[in-house]
Amino acid sequence: KPMIVLMFVVGLILVISVIVVIIMKMTGGSGTIDEDGSTIGELPGMIDDGESKNEEDASMISKIVIKIGEREFTATLEKTEAAQAFAKLLPLEKNMVELNGNEKYYDLHQNLPSDPKQVGRIEAGDLMLFQNNFIVVFYKSHSTNYSYTRIGKIDNPTGLAEAVGSGDVVMSFAVLDEDAE
């Protein structure tokens, strides 16, 4: 019986050690595990020093440029996971497909994080994610019953409808070099 108890205790320590390692990986912790299963060091992923959010905001991409023929439009991105995931794909040059006389879309062939909401109204210049893989640029305002994840908005959509025309069109998307302005 003492051997069974000893094996149980050793097994329990191993299970606790594995759980601690999993928790540390999930929270970004960098401590080490002591022989008794306790951690040595801190778990920085769980400490809120107030600075990490500001650093994250500073590294977020906020502006992109959309080029259509000779025209360029700047767009402001939402501060969301979806918008940042899209920005990480840039630069892109894609043939955007015409749909409904008010939008151009492209199937990214990969899923982005999405949080679709029924928006009710689309405005010219809205940059949206439909489902989780279609990037959509709207060039005319209209009502809608569809749900979208907001990616961003073209700052000044004047001339956008003329630039995109009535058929498919090539658009390039790139991160705006704000130092170049």
Using the predicted structure, report yes or no on whether residue 55 has a pLDDT greater than 60. Answer: no
**CB distance 157 to 124 below 8 Å:** yes
**What's the whole-model pTM score?**
0.67
Query: What average pLDDT score do residues 154-166 get?
Result: 95
Quote the CA–CA distance of 176 and 181 in Å, as a whole number: 9
Query: What average pLDDT score do residues 84-105 get?
Result: 94
Express each pLDDT in 38-47 by its tens digit: 444 444 444 4
Indicate the SS3 state at residue 1. coil
Q: Which pLDDT band, with edges at 50, 70 and 90, does 54 fall under? A: very low
How many CA atoms within 13 Å lie on the side-chain side of 57?
5
Beta bridge partners of 154: 75
Q: What is the DSSP letter of 80?
A: S
Express each pLDDT in 18-40 by its tens digit: 877 777 666 555 444 444 444 44
Both tokens of residue 1?
């019986």
